[in-house]
Amino acid sequence: MKLVLTLLRKELLLFSKDRVALSLTFLVPVVLIYIFGAVFGVNRTSSGPTGIPLAVINESAAPEIAKLVEALRKETAFRVVESTTDENGVARALTETEVREGFKANRYRFALVLPADATSDETFGLRLKLLFNPRNEIESQMVLGLLQRTIYTEAPMLLLRSLEKQAASAIGRVKTDRFYDEMAATIGRSFGLDAAKVRESMKVGSLGDIVGAKTSGSTNGEASNFLERVIKIEQEQLAGAQVKNTGATRAVGGWAMMFLLFALSGSATSLFEEKKAGLYLRLLASPVRPSHILWSKYAFGILLGLVQLVALFFAGRLMFGIDVTSNFANLLVICAAAAVACTAFGMLLAAVTRTPAAAQGLATLLILTMSAVGGAWFPTSFMPELIQQLSKLTVVYWAMEGFAQVLWNDCTFAELLPTVGVLLGIAAALIGVSWWRFRTGPVFE
Amino acid sequence: MLVVENLTKRYGTLTALNDVSLHVRRGEFFGLLGPNGAGKSTLMALVAGLRQPDAGRMSIDGVPCDRAGAASATIGFVPQSLALYEDLNAEENLAIFGRLYGLTGAALKARIDECLVAVGLQERRRDTVKTFSGGMQRRLNLAASLLHAPKLLLCDEPTVGIDPQSRNAIFDLLEQLNRDGLTIIYSTHYMEEATRLCSRIGIIDHGRIHALGTLDELLEQLPSREVVTFPRGSVAPGLAAKLEQFGALHERAESRELHLRADVRLAEFFTATAAAGLPDRLFQLKRPTLEDLFLHLTGKTLRE
């Protein structure tokens, strides 16, 4: 027993002196829990997506359609975009053509077109057009559900106005007003409301609150079926329709990025092993300079990353039937850009740490954080606004953007260039910091 | 061949080399003898261009030794650590290092063959380095520094931690290389190695060269030519004190050493001890060594 206690004491002593082990045991998990909590929004009072860009092209002059747009603006899940600025900086309403272009650049994944005849005096009902890019399934389902809810909540009021217009046209204004006065009285009696207030609400279009509450409680019932018959929502999928295995195509890029980051941070720590083995003494005594060693490491990382990503995508093709060949040249371009950025990240880890263990600890922390924040695990639109903004600083986010553009949107090289530019820009910044650290740090001393 | 002038290197507040100057002639086997931390490896690293001095200059045949690497093609560096890729075989290791010096194709293959034969590893050329014994790894470490046929070989304690047989094999190889005209600078803290191998020796401690010359020239600096040792306790303390009239008495772990003054004749000493009743068999006569010189120069032993 005494011997066991002595050995136990030894274990505790060694552990207490191992700062990396201490960090990985206590500090890193706490930091990760905090970050994951922020990513998943565990402290938020509301759940669900926030700030998803929703382009709205309102070509209708009808006030009830304006009410619908107003309702969409109030929905926190959406960031309604209705206007753009021209070359003179003057704001003007978006056009459908511009929005369709915006889909290609991934500025929008959802757009609602409210045509000039969304409601008309001639026909009863409502006509809308929804443009969407379901590159993220969870997000798409959530957005479509929210849109339906908002439209159906407003629908009774819209339909009432539509009906009223038609009635006025057919039987005259006086008879129509009488009819609606009687209907207000009936509603007032049925719901225990003041008939005059009900009639006033019908005029200003806020009766939907009352009736909407009733219809939303029976979405699977007759009211819902009725609404579906009279509200015509034309849906048009602008991207991804050609994708064979949508689930795998969406997911494999995120997984690949995570493994790539782990692989490249591991290879970067070989700097420490070579230094420890004394190899730099021999290499630097030869015509080799530190910059040669570093560039060879970068080149190896990029090559390894490119091969690994392509191999993983082809594995995805074999296992899940992902189409990686139809836009293969652009897939290579984005894989190369991602490999450059991930290599730069791995080298930064080696530059800012002093031991392989410290580098691996930091790598675990940063890779898991970047994967979560960058959207490798679930859509960034479900994260709090701040985290969504931070996600755009990560390599994972932009690499996944690029993969989606290639595999989902079937983009052209020109359309892919901005994403490639961002990845290379991040890489340049990381390489700059690393280079400075390598020059002043202990690796080549 | 190698000219070092007023070289100083500091690491923070520690001065690793302090105004060191020396000349190494072509074809010399030059030894740097000093304890750990004396500044040997720092001097080697500076000559190899691995570090930048804070002051002073170095050149090989007029070409400056600096981090720009102008002189690197003329230098072979055998680091103290085993600077080898353990997961690669001997041939692959040598091919990598040879290519760094511009060797390719048949010339590279020929040099690899020559070097493997020279270090006696031609039979193990396809074996991974991690399967080698410590001695074999040391020999391959040496071979990797010879591929490009350097003019100057820097050996930084190249026999650390190996068995006597492998050590002798390395000594034989280095002696042969030196006979073939290669200039060698060899750092060690073993006086036996310096004594056996080196034609000229610099004694270094605390970043300073304390003495420089051939073995005989160095030993000339000692005040005594002979050392008489006798077991502790074999001579009464009072009598031992009397022996100090012949030279300096030093206490060792198990013996005492009397470093006879240069003007004392051995016959005179033994006549005196016989008169004191001390038999001749108590005393052993030995030549002074570099260890004695180091003690004389620095006041401490090489192992302290």
pLDDT of residue B199: 92
Which positions in chain B have a beta carbon within 8 angstroms of at least one beta carbon in chain A?
45, 48-51, 67, 69, 72-73, 75, 77, 79-86, 97, 100-102, 144-145, 148, 154
Size of interface A-B (CB pairs under 8 A): 56
Question: What is the rounded average pLDDT for all residues in chain B?
Answer: 89
Check residue A228 and give its pLDDT.
64
Q: How far apart are CA B24 and CA B280, in angstroms?
A: 44
Confidence of residue B137 (pLDDT cuts 50, 70, 90): very high
Distances (CA, A) of B80 to A349, A437, B16, B76, B159: 28, 27, 17, 13, 8
Distance between alpha carbon B226 and the CA centroid of its chain, in Å?
A: 24
Backbone angles phi, psi at B207, to 5 degrees: 75, 10
Cβ density class B236-260: b for 16+ within 10 Å, e for less: eeeebeebeebbeeeeeeeebbbbb
Residue among B43, B47, B72 with most chain A CBs within 10 A, to mutate: B72
User: A227-231, A264-268, A371-375, B275-279: which has the highest mean pLDDT?
Assistant: A371-375
- Three-class DSSP labels, A277-312: CCHHHHHHHCCCCHHHHHHHHHHHHHHHHHHHHHHH
Asked if B80's CB is within 8 angstroms of A278's CB, the reply is: yes
> What percent of chain A shows pLDDT beyond 70?
87
Minimal Cα–Cα distance from B239 to chain A, Å? 53
Q: Which two tokens stand for residue A184?
A: 């207000």
Tokens 């757009």: give the residue.
A111
Over residues B261-298, the pLDDT tens digits come to 878 888 888 888 888 887 888 888 887 788 878 877 88
Which phi and psi angles does B101 have, rounded to 5°?
-100, 15
CB contact (8 A) between residue A277 and residue B86: yes
Do residues A62 and A119 touch, judged by C-beta distance below 8 A?
yes
Is the pLDDT reported for residue A213 higher than 50? no
Phi, psi of A443 (to 5 degrees): -60, -45
| pLDDT score for B154 | 95
Q: Quick check: A279 and B85 CB within 8 A?
A: yes
Residues from chain A contacting residue B154 (CB–CB below 8 Å): 285
What is the number of other CB atoms lying within 10 angstroms of the CB of residue B11?
12
What does the pLDDT read at residue A46? 61
Average pLDDT, chain A: 82
For the entire predicted model, the pTM comes to 0.74
What DSSP character marks residue B32?
E
Residues of chain A in Cβ contact (below 8 Å) with chain B: 277-279, 281-289, 445
- Closest C-alpha among A236, A234, A232 to residue A119: A232
Residue A34: predicted pLDDT: 79
- Rg over alpha carbons for chain B, rounded to the nearest Å, is 23
3-state DSSP call for residue B200?
Answer: strand
Q: How far apart are CA A358 and CA A234, in angstroms?
A: 55
Distance from CA of A300 to the nearest CA of B (A): 16
C-alpha distance from A445 to closest chain B C-alpha (Å): 7
Partner residue facing B81 (CB), from A281, A284, A285 = A281
**Does residue B72 carry a pLDDT above 60?**
yes
Adjacency order of strands within the sheet including B247-251 = B247-251, B255-260, B227-231, B284-286
Nearest to A288 among B86, B100, B145 (CB): B100
Q: List the alpha helices (DSSP H) in A205-245.
A: 208-216, 222-230
Rounded mean pLDDT of A51-62? 87
Residue of A nearest to B71 (CA): A287
Under DSSP, the state recorded for B190 is -
pLDDT value at A212 more than 50: no
> What is the bridge-based pairing of β-strands B75-78 and B152-156?
parallel
Q: Closest approach of chain A CAs to the CA of B249, in angstroms?
A: 44
Do you know the residue count of chain A? 445
Q: How far is A359 from chain B (nearest CA, A)?
A: 22
Highest mean pLDDT range out of A74-78, A154-158, B51-55? B51-55
**pLDDT > 90? residue A354:** no
> From the centroid of its chain, how far is CA A303?
28
Percent of all residues in chain B with a pLDDT value above 70, rounded to a whole number: 99
Answer yes or no: is pLDDT of A191 > 80: no
pLDDT at A219: 46
Residue numbers in A near B148 (CB within 8 A): 286
**Residues in B touching A282 (Cβ below 8 Å):** 77, 79, 83, 97, 144-145
pLDDT exceeds 60 at position A81: yes
Tokens of A440: 């002043």
Percent of chain A surpassing pLDDT 90: 18
Closest approach of B81 to chain A, Cα-based (Å)? 5
DSSP structure string for B110-157: HHHHHHHHHTT-GGGTTSBGGGS-HHHHHHHHHHHHHTT--SEEEEES
Ordered DSSP codes for B59-83: EETTEE-STT-TTGGGEEEE-SS--
**pLDDT tens digits for A1-19?**
777 888 888 888 888 888 8
The encoded tokens of residue A420 equal 């490639």
In this prediction the ipTM stands at 0.83
Least trusted range by pLDDT, from A96-105, A283-292, B89-98, B150-159: A96-105
**CB-count exposure of residue B202 (10 Å: 0-12, 13-18, 19+):** buried
Is the distance from CB of B143 to CB of B129 less than 8 angstroms?
A: no
Residue A332 and residue A253 in contact, taking contact as beta carbons nearer than 8 Å: no
Residue B14 has pLDDT above 60, yes or no: yes
Q: Note the pLDDT of residue B44.
A: 94
- Least trusted range by pLDDT, from A167-181, A358-372, B267-281, B284-298: A167-181
Which two three-digit tokens encode residue A51? 């700030």
Enter the tokens of residue B244: 């100090």
In this complex, which of B73, B79, B148 lies closest to A278 when CB atoms are compared? B79
Nearest chain B residue to A284 by CA distance is B50
Tens digits of residue pLDDT in B183-210: 999 999 988 899 899 999 999 999 999 8
Q: Mutating which of A274, A282, A291, A296 best tests the B interface, going by the most B Cβ atoms within 10 A?
A: A282
Tell me if A24 sits within 8 A of A361, measured CB to CB: yes
Strand partners, B284: B229
CB B282 within 8 A of CB B235: yes
Lowest-confidence pick of A201-210, A344-353, B25-34, B41-50: A201-210
Task: Give the 3-state secondary structure of residue A326.
Answer: coil
Please report how many Cα atoms fall inside a 13 Å half-sphere around the Cα of residue A261, on the Cβ side: 28
Asked which of A164-173, A322-331, A335-344 is least confident by mean pLDDT, the reply is A164-173
Mean pLDDT in residue range A401-405 = 89
Can you read off the two tokens belonging to residue A203? 């005029």
From chain B, the residues in CB contact with A278 under 8 A are 79-83
> At a CB cut-off of 8 Å and minimum separation 6, what does B21 contact?
B4, B5, B6, B7, B56, B209
Per-residue pLDDT, averaged over A114-140, amounts to 79
Long-range contacts made by residues B105-114, C-beta under 8 angstroms, separation at least 24? B108/B147, B111/B147, B111/B148, B111/B149, B112/B147
Contact A237, A137 (CB under 8 A): no
Predicted local distance difference test score (pLDDT) of residue B251: 80
Using the predicted structure, report yes or no on whether residue A200 has a pLDDT greater than 90: no
pLDDT reading at A218 higher than 50: no
Express each pLDDT in B218-245 by its tens digit.
Answer: 888 877 778 888 887 777 777 777 788 8
B-chain residue closest to A270, CA distance: B85
Say which DSSP state B56 is in: E
Query: Do A281 and B49 count as a contact with CB atoms less than 8 A apart?
Result: no
Give the closest of A277, A284, A287 to B101, CB-based. A287
Q: What is the pLDDT of residue A163?
A: 67
A335 min Cα distance to partner chain B (Å): 30
Overall residue count recorded for chain B in this entry: 304
pLDDT of residue A270: 82
Instruction: For tokens 């190698």, name the residue.
Output: B2
Place of tokens 């690499």: A399
Q: What are A444's two structure tokens?
A: 């080549």
